[in-house]
Amino acid sequence: MTLKLYHEDPYTAGFEARVDHVEGEWVSLDRTAFYPGGGGQDKDHGTIDGLMVEDSRLKDGIEHKVPGHMFRVGQVVQCYVDWGRRYELMRSHTGEHMLFSALSKRSEIELVKISLTPEKRSLMIKGNIDWDLIKDALQEVNGLIFQGLEVRAEVFSKDCVDSSRTRIKLDRIHGDSVRVISIGDYDEAACTGVHVRNTMEIGFLMITKFTSAKPTGDWEIEFQVGEDAARSSASYAVEMLRASERLGSNPQDFRVAFENRESERSKAIESLKQCSKVMLGSLEPNVIKGISIYSAHFNGIDRKLLMDKATSITSSASSIAILVSEDDRSYLVIARSPDQSIDCVSVLNDVLSEFGGRGGGKAGFATGGTPTAVEGGVLISKVLKRIGLDDG
C-alpha cells in the first residue's frame, strides 16, 4: 500500500521513494506526495528522477505515468512535486470549501460539481443564488480568511461522523473511514483533497464570474484566490470607477444609474421602432425592367420589422425587397416574390462575403450580416448589380 505523503504532510514537495511496481509507462512507489486527483482538485505534476510525471491514477495503489522511464523494482528515486501549481490548488480547495459553506448558510443549495485546475476554479450548484447573496457570502469568507482559522484534517470511523454537522454524502464513501476537513468552527466536510493549514494562506478570494449552468446545474461560480484574486479585484474596481464616471454617478450608486440608463435606452428603442414602422410604411418602389424594387437602409432598425416588411412586400407579384439595418454591424435582408427566379441565399452570401459576412435562408428569402458596419447603400448597390437590376 502506497504511503500517502500528500495526506501525511501536504507541504511535502521533494521526497525519496522506492519503486514498488512497473507496468509499461506506469510506476508505483512505496510512498508518494503526488496527489492523484479527487474532490474536483486536479492531479499533481512533477518529476521522478528528472522525468515528467504526466498522469496519476488510483488502481491497486497509486500509479504515476512516466513516459520514457527505465525504472526497476527496488530502485530508489528522487521525486519533486510542481510546488507552485500544487500550492495554488491547495489554496483554491480550502477557499472553495469556505465559499460553498457561506453560500449554503444563506440558501438551500446542492453542490453539483467542483473544478479546481490552474486554468479554472469553479463550483456548480443547484439552488437560488443572486448577486446580493454572493456579495454577503464573499464578505464573510474574506473576513474569515483574514482571521487565520486553523484548517485540520482528521480521519474518523464512518459511523462516528455527525452528518448534521459535517457535509458528507455517505453513499459515496468507500470503506469504514472518513477524512474530514475542518476550518476552525466554521465548516466541516468530508474530503480527500489537499488543503492549506491556515486560512490566511488563501490571501484573498474573489468571484470573477456567475453564470447559468443549465441543464447540468442552476449556476456556475468561478473564483480566484491569492495574488490572482487581488489583481482581478483591482482591475474590476478600476473598470467600475471608469464606468461610474461615464454614467456621472458615484460607484455606490452605479447600479441605480445603470438601471436608469437602461430604462432610457428601452424608451429610445421603442420610439425608434415606432418611427421605423412609419418609414417602412411609406417605402415606395423603384420599378426596373418591370420589377418593383423596394430598397432602403436604416440606422438601428429592429431586424424583425425588416423581415416582416420584406415578407409583406414580396407577397405581391414582380417584387424584390433589399433592406438593410445599420449599427455596429450591418444586417441585410433579400426577398423576392414567387414569380421571380433569383436565388436570394446565393446573392446574399456573394455580397456579404466581400465584407467577411455570411447568412442563410431559402431561395426566396435570405438574411445575414457583416462583422463590422458596412454602409447600407453600398450593400444595396452590390445586390442590384449582382442580380442585373442596377439601372446599368
What does the pLDDT look like over 246-304, one tens digit per residue? 888 888 888 888 888 888 888 877 787 777 778 788 889 999 989 999 999 988 788 88
Q: What percent of the chain has pLDDT over 90?
A: 72
Distance from first CA to last CA of the chain, Å, rounded? 87
Kindly state whether residues 156 and 208 are assigned to the same domain.
yes
> What letter would DSSP give residue 150?
B
Q: Is residue 379 part of a domain?
A: yes
Q: What does the pLDDT read at residue 167?
A: 85
- Which of 51, 81, 111 finishes a domain? 81
Kindly state whether residues 131 and 76 are assigned to the same domain.
no
Kindly state whether residues 57 and 185 are assigned to the same domain.
no
Q: Is residue 253 part of a domain?
A: no
Question: Please, which residues bridge with residue 4 across strands?
Answer: 32
Q: Is residue 292 part of a domain?
A: yes
Kindly state whether residues 220 and 123 are assigned to the same domain.
yes
Model pLDDT for residues 183-230, shown as the tens digit of each residue: 999 999 999 999 999 999 999 999 999 999 988 889 999 999 999 999
- Confidence at 69, pLDDT banded by 50, 70, 90: very high
Kindly state whether residues 119 and 228 are assigned to the same domain.
yes
**Residue ranges of the alpha helices (H) in the chain?**
5-8, 83-104, 131-147, 226-247, 254-281, 303-313, 344-353, 376-386
Give the mean pLDDT of the chain.
Answer: 91
The enclosing domain of 73 has a CATH number of 2.40.30.130
Q: What does the pLDDT read at residue 171?
A: 64
- Which of 31, 51, 81 finishes a domain? 81
- Which of 42, 65, 81 finishes a domain? 81
Kindly state whether residues 305 and 227 are assigned to the same domain.
no
Kindly state whether residues 94 and 66 are assigned to the same domain.
no
Q: ∠106-110-114 over CA atoms, to 5°?
A: 110
Question: Can you give the pTM of this predicted structure?
Answer: 0.73
Domain tally, the chain: 3
Kindly state whether residues 96 and 225 are assigned to the same domain.
yes
Could you list the residue range(s) of the whole structural domain that residue 376 is in? 283-386
Model pLDDT for residues 304-351, shown as the tens digit of each residue: 889 999 999 999 999 999 999 988 899 999 999 999 999 999 999 999
